[in-house]
Structure 1
Amino acid sequence: MALKLYILDDDEQYATLLAEVASNIGWEVLAQQDPIAFLQDDILQGSVLVLDLNMPEMDGIEVIRVLAEKKINLLLILVSGFDARVLHSAQQLAEAHHFKVLASLTKPMSIQEFAKTLNSIKPQTKQTQQSALTENSVSATELEQALQQHQLVLYYQPQINMQTGDLHGVEALVRWQHPEYGLIYPNQFIGLAEQSSLIEPLTEEVIRLAVEQSRNWQAEGINISVSINVSAENITSLSLPEQLKKLTDKHAIDPNKITLEITENAVMGDLTSSLDVLNRLRMKGFALSIDDFGTGYSSLSHLYKMPFTELKIDQSFIMQMLEDSEAMVIVKICIMLGQMLGMKLVAEGVETQEVWDELQTLGCDIAQGYLMAKPMPADALVQWIRISK
């Protein structure tokens, strides 16, 4: 089946030209000038939308909002002849609504640039269409059964010490081994867990699996730290520190080997309860990481108040830092801030040697990303460690 491409641009001649280019390289194209009519159509999930931000009747920002409200999962190519800052900000807005932005192009753009962008995204589009199908097919009842039947599994992504090149630790990343759909990625069920009040038991299951795996590795002589993502619900649960300490004691795991990753937005709720839980976790020896730093809405006062030991720079900045001067500034500020507060600095999304080299020069401590290794099952990680040595 041909890949579906929607073009939404009020300039009919321009839209027709883009449609012709896309059609010539194998896309099934639907060009529209009317945003309201487009939003009333039956839009194919997982398709690509070329979206002009500057339209008189309904602008592209409004279109993004309506698509999010309707839960229509599309890949976006944003186009604008307006201020570059607006285009950049619109990309951040789209990503905040959980859309993947494939490119942001400034009008007038060359036909070669547009064709190159389309050719580079075909594999991603196929994957997103399958993801959308799976996401719309699983239910809260199935997810609850998955928790009861222990269908969740963990993959582990190595984190590398940038000064020595040694393995520092791993991040535990959850997957759902679905009996019908196979391996389902977290972006396809975490939102469902949050909406159906299953995120707390899901996180507890992830913690249990990670601690048990740490014990197994320890028995094989592999002594590494494990980072675990913790939800907002968990960090306001006053019983979490005692429960986690009992679990690590049961499996003879040093709490210093467990890092709990908490997103910026997770600490924005009940600040008093969060401070209570986080301080008691630190006093019991667990490390604390502020995850996706720079993408949330916390203030510097929150960072000052919370007993974090690690700052994790979001991959959206790391992956763009060499091409986007603003992303580079944010990375530099994050590193400087972490260093001055005595925190370890982790860069996620390191995919090229050039990015590694720049981060190393800036003084980043730990790198995580496809340059070193993709997430892998526990047994594959053991083999990876042996080969790496």
Structure 2
Amino acid sequence: MTARARSVFILDDEQPLCEDLCELISAAGHSARWCTDPRKLNMSELASVDVVLLDLGLPAMDGIDIMNRLTAFAEPPRLIFISGVGEDVLRVVAQVAGEQKLIVLGALTKPLDPQQLLRLLDYADCGAVAEAVPRRGRRAILPALKASLAAGSLPVSFQPKVEVQTLRFAGAEALLTGVLPGVGPVSPVDIVAAATSDPSVLVHLTQYVLGIAARGCAQWIKAGWRGPISVNLPLEVVLQPDSLRNLIQTVEDAQLSPADVIFELTEDSLYDSCAESMSMLARLRMAGFGLALDDVGRRQSGLLQLSALPVTEIKIDLQIVRDARTWTKARNIFASIAELGRKLGVKVVAEGVEFPDDLKLARTFPIDYVQGYLISPKRPLPELLRALSAQAGSEAAGVEWNTGA
């Protein structure tokens, strides 16, 4: 994942700092320019650079004003904040930038750590930031989704999950690819949202993905690799009549047992969950399915419900992992969730592991598994099986993932 050379523009009112940063950045193989007074800057100059190092406390025009102007660009540069203000202020500004669809690589407090700056400039061109996918309305998606499900043409991919220390294959998660036949690129979030508007389509979609996922899992088990398949399970589907029987039947049709399947439920889906839904979760566990609480840390409700839920696994939200690269509080939250999982006796998965430092962080705490672009992007099943078989087709062998570790 070696990054290419970056073009950098430094906006800071301290000329000696700008000169030192230019020298540092250039010596690392990147190019750099600087300006101490944004009033003398033609903002169009920033449209052609990869990264802007932005001092939030510019006297003539503060960094938030600069951010607001960058939103007018079709492809705004990435941002690295530099400031003497506290971490809490930097984090709020970073959140505002994210809501404006600006990409923040990190924030540096003065005096700057040169190596930390160079690490931020060494971001990958893919993986850390999701590809832009056109947003489409439900009216455009729903008919195409129904047709694709009926034809069995909706593509499903698999993202490996690996043991944190050895990187040994430990299963995979089944995911929509973001392509809808007859429409083209569509965000998986939009596909699920469209399906949710029609309960029968949501059930069909869930059973469809589960069927493909279970058959894929059966193939890697037959090839000698152990590890369950994880599938997202909307709570609305769980509450449908005969849902448990249908889920078991789909899994058994693939020659799997429920113990080979982990259903992932989000914090939001369990927020204010009713007695009926809690009963169904208990029944899923009694049938032998694993249950994972996904996106843990996104909202407090999930942590509060952990003691009452029959989960076997918790997945730390990828945004927590991303924030932990920069923010001390996020790293503390990450550590707390990992330790909580250990004390509760459930497996802990860190999602969104995209850089070597993310893996290093996960190995520092009681994390069991990692998942993310550093290990592998989501892949079609044949590609995943080839990656496994290339490693002697034995559970005893590790797999050479993207990390090279």
Q: RMSD value over aligned CA atoms?
A: 5.3
Instruction: Note the 1:197-208 alignment, pairs <5 A.
Output: 197-198=195-196, 200=202, 201-208=204-211
SS of aligned partner of 1:152: coil
SS in 1 for 2:177: strand
Q: 1:387 aligns with which of 385, 390, 400?
A: 390
Equivalence for 1:286: 289
Give 2:188's match in structure 1, choosing from 187, 190, 198: 190
Judge conservation of contact 1:238–1:277 (CA < 8 Å) in 2: no
Give yes or no for contact 2:244–2:284 (8 Å, CA) kept in 1: yes
Q: Could you say which residue in structure 1 is the equivalent of 2:269?
A: 266
Q: Quick one: which amino acid aligns to residue 167 of structure 1?
A: F
CA deviations over 1:234-254 (Å, ceiling 9, x no partner): 355464323211211222311
User: Using a 3 Å threshold, how does the CA distance of structure 1 residues 232 and 100 change in structure 2: closer, same or farther?
Assistant: farther
- The alpha-carbon distance between structure 1 residues 285 and 324, as it changes in their structure 2 partners (threshold 3 A), is same
Contact 2:80 2:104 in 1 (8 A): yes
Specify the code of the residue in structure 2 equivalent to 1:166. R
Q: CA deviation at 1:379?
A: 0.9
3-state SS in 1 of match to 2:251: helix
Q: 1:92 to 1:341 in 2, by over 3 A?
A: farther
* Closer/same/farther in 2, CA of residues 255 and 375 from structure 1, 3 Å limit: same
Identical amino acids, percent of aligned pairs: 28
Query: In 1, distance between residues paired with 2:294 and 2:248?
Result: 22
Q: Does the CA contact (< 8 Å) of 2:296 and 2:303 recur in 1? A: no
CA, structure 1 residues 80+143, in 2 after alignment: closer, same or farther (shift >3 Å)? Answer: farther
Counterpart position of 1:30: none
Query: How far apart are the structure 1 equivalents of 2:187 and 2:120?
Result: 28
Counterpart residue identity of residue 83, structure 1? G
Q: Any conservation in 2 of the 1:238–1:276 contact (CA below 8 Å)?
A: no
Q: Does the 8 A contact of 2:338 with 2:366 survive in 1? A: yes
Q: Does the aligned pair in 2 maintain the 1:53–1:59 contact within 8 Å?
A: yes
Q: Give the superposition deviation at 1:370.
A: 3.7
Q: Deviations over 1:134-188 (max 9, x none)?
A: x336443443214422443222222222466532111112113445786x4xxx5
Aligned partner of 2:147 in structure 1 is 148
Paired position in structure 1 for 2:172: 170
Which digits, 9 at most, give the CA deviation of each residue in 1:60-87, with x for residues without a partner?
889999x99xxx9996655665432121
Corresponding residue to 1:234 among 220, 237, 255: 237
Match of 2:403 in 1: none
How far apart are residue 287 of structure 1 and its match? 0.4
Match of 2:349 in 1: 346
Return closer, same or farther for 1:166/1:81 CA change in 2, 3 Å cut-off.
closer
Q: Indicate if the aligned counterparts of 2:51 and 2:80 stay in contact, CA closer than 8 A.
A: yes
Task: Extract unaligned runs of 5+ from structure 2.
Answer: 1-5, 20-29, 33-37, 395-405
2:248 counterpart of 1:245: yes
Q: How many residue pairs end up in the alignment?
A: 372
Once the two structures are overlaid, the 10-residue window that deviates more, 365-374 or 190-199, is: 190-199
Q: Is this contact kept in 1: 2:262–2:292, CA < 8 A? A: yes
| Most deviating of 374-383 and 87-96 | 87-96
Equivalent residue, structure 1, for 2:318: 315
Instruction: Answer yes or no: is the 8 Å Cα contact 2:251–2:258 preserved in 1.
Output: yes
SS class of match (2:270): helix
**Which amino acid letter does the alignment assign opposite residue 162 of structure 2?**
I
Higher mean Cα deviation, 158-167 or 341-350?
158-167
In the alignment, does 2:384 pair up with 1:374? Answer: no
Q: Determine the C-alpha separation between the residues in 1 that align with 2:205 and 2:102.
A: 24
- CA distance 1:196–1:98, change in 2 (3 Å): farther
Q: State whether structure 2 residue 332 is matched by structure 1 residue 333.
A: no
Distance 1:109 1:314 in 2: 29
- Matched position secondary structure for 1:298: helix
Relative contact order (C-alpha < 8 Å, sep 6+): which is higher?
A: 2
Structure 1 residues 304 and 358: alpha-carbon distance in aligned structure 2, compared to 1, 3 A threshold: same
The equivalent of 1:21 in structure 2 is none
Which amino acid counterpart does residue 154 of structure 1 have in structure 2?
Answer: V
1:363 equivalenced with 2:362 (yes/no): no
Q: How does 1:65-104 map to 2 (within 5 A)?
A: 82-92=85-95, 100-104=103-107
Once residues 335 and 347 of structure 1 are traced to their aligned partners in structure 2, the CA distance between those partners, rounded to angstroms, is 9
Which consecutive unaligned segments of at least 5 residues does structure 1 have?
18-24, 28-32, 39-43
Sort the Cα spacing of 1:383 and 1:121 in 2 relative to 1 into closer, same or farther, 3 A. closer
Q: Distance in 1 between matches of 2:332 and 2:318?
A: 14
Q: Which string of whole-angstrom CA distances, capped at 9 and with x for unpartnered residues, describes residues 345-371 of structure 1?
A: 112233455554553453322222344
Q: Quote the offset at 1:380 in angstroms.
A: 1.3
**1:270 partner letter:** S
* Corresponding residue SS for 1:193: helix
